[in-house]
Amino acid sequence: MTISSFLDKVLLREKGDSWSHFWLCYWCDVLYFILCTGKTLSPQVMFHNAASNIICKVLFGTRYEYNDETIKKVVQWFTEMLKIFNGPWALLYNSVPYVSYLPLPFKKAFKNMELYLNFSNGLVNEHKRTRTAGEPRDFVDCYLDELDKQKEDSSFSEEQLRRITLDLYLAGTDSTSNTLLTGFLYLMNHPQVQDRCQQEINRVLDGRDWASFEDRHNMPYVQAVIHEVQRVANTVPLSAFHCSTKDTELMGYDIPKGTLIIQNMESVLREEGQWKFPHEFSPENFLNEQGEFVKPEAFMPFSAGPRMCLGEGLARMELFLMTVTLLRKFKFIWPEDAGEPDFTMIFGVTLTPKPYMMKVQLRSEQ
């Protein structure tokens, strides 16, 4: 049993319940937008909170209100950790290990990490008290079920579970929220693309308040837009680092066992000859002449192969449902006093759009 199969098991279980808990998450997010309707707002924290709540639901079966102090603290821990990871102190720490003994700012990242692990440990202990074996409610229950089946020399352990939830929370919030930030930055500044998406959403939903993940098959243009956002966002530009497990040869190059492998996703996501418009934002990159959605082989924002992103299924679902739900209800406008948009990304572990403001209006046509 792999970690990705645990995630799939949780998502498939929820599918049988018509994705009910995801609807609740997204609808509450929409209500949050309504409170801000007509005002100019910064979407950074909002998107991060939405992604955090969804990954909390998947991992722990728990969802928090936006004003809950627990989720505020968790979001703050990860926000501070990512800021340090993306900054010069992390570079210094990795380059000069001896500085780890000094009271420098990167110590804050380790402290926050330990705070999260303690938080996770409390939830795992609660699961152990309340779970019914064989009837998993979420990712933690799935892992504990598998742990019961393992032998003593297994790599499965409660400590490993705590660390895995840290990895999944970190990967499942920052990448999704940054992709959404990039997407709505482009949608506001390409109003014709936003309008066409909304027309397709209206046609497919035909009066329904909710979209399902299955609706994506009838929304080729929306699919093309979301995939194009992922392409230009290139949220994880170096993907996850890998390591060769044996001596091998690739295209005439010898790669010894144990070599660190770093992928340059930019090389495929903007490669000349693979895309109609490699250096522009254009949904046409994912549409054929008949207007049907097509996905070129060079599209691999989740990497490729057996070690590709294990959260791909969850991320694809989040991006589609959140985008469709928000565009169904609202129109997003670049503020008149915001000046020219800056599409330059801030480089780090993930690529992040520069902070911006947005104006939100209720759509007159539903």
Query: What does the pLDDT profile of the chain (366 residues) look like in tens digits?
Result: 555 565 665 555 554 334 444 555 555 555 566 556 567 788 888 888 888 888 888 889 887 777 788 888 888 888 888 777 767 777 777 778 777 778 877 788 889 999 999 999 999 999 999 999 989 888 899 899 988 888 777 788 888 898 889 888 888 888 899 999 999 999 999 999 999 999 999 999 988 877 888 999 999 999 999 999 999 999 988 887 888 999 999 899 999 999 988 888 888 999 998 999 999 999 999 999 999 999 999 999 888 777 777 778 888 888 998 899 889 888 999 999 989 999 998 877 788 899 999 988 888 765
Task: Detail the residues annotated as belonging to a binding site for heme.
Answer: 309
pLDDT tens track for 67-120 = 788 888 888 888 888 777 767 777 777 778 777 778 877 788 889 999 999 999
Q: Which residues contact 348 (CB under 8 A, 6 or more apart)?
A: 82, 85, 86, 87
360, 44 in Cβ contact below 8 A? no
Tokens representing residue 328 in the block: 């169904």
pLDDT tens track for 7-46 = 665 555 554 334 444 555 555 555 566 556 567 788 888 8
- The pLDDT of residue 115 is 93
- The pLDDT of residue 107 is 85
- The pLDDT of residue 16 is 35
Partnered with residue 260 across adjacent β-strands are 243
What is the CATH number for 38? 1.10.630.10
- The pLDDT of residue 19 is 45
CB burial class (10 A; 0-12, 13-18, 19+) of residue 173? buried
In this structure, what DSSP letter does residue 275 have?
B
> Whole-model pTM?
0.86
Residue 164: helix, strand or coil by DSSP?
Answer: helix
Q: How far apart are CA 327 and CA 306, in angstroms?
A: 34
Number of domains present in the structure of the chain: 1
43, 358 in Cβ contact below 8 A? yes
Burial annotation 3-39 (CB, 10 A radius, 16+ → b, else e):
ebebbebbbeebeeeebebbbebbeebbeebeebeee
- The pLDDT of residue 21 is 47
Task: Detail the residues annotated as belonging to a binding site.
Answer: 309
Range of the domain at 303: 3-362
- The pLDDT of residue 83 is 77
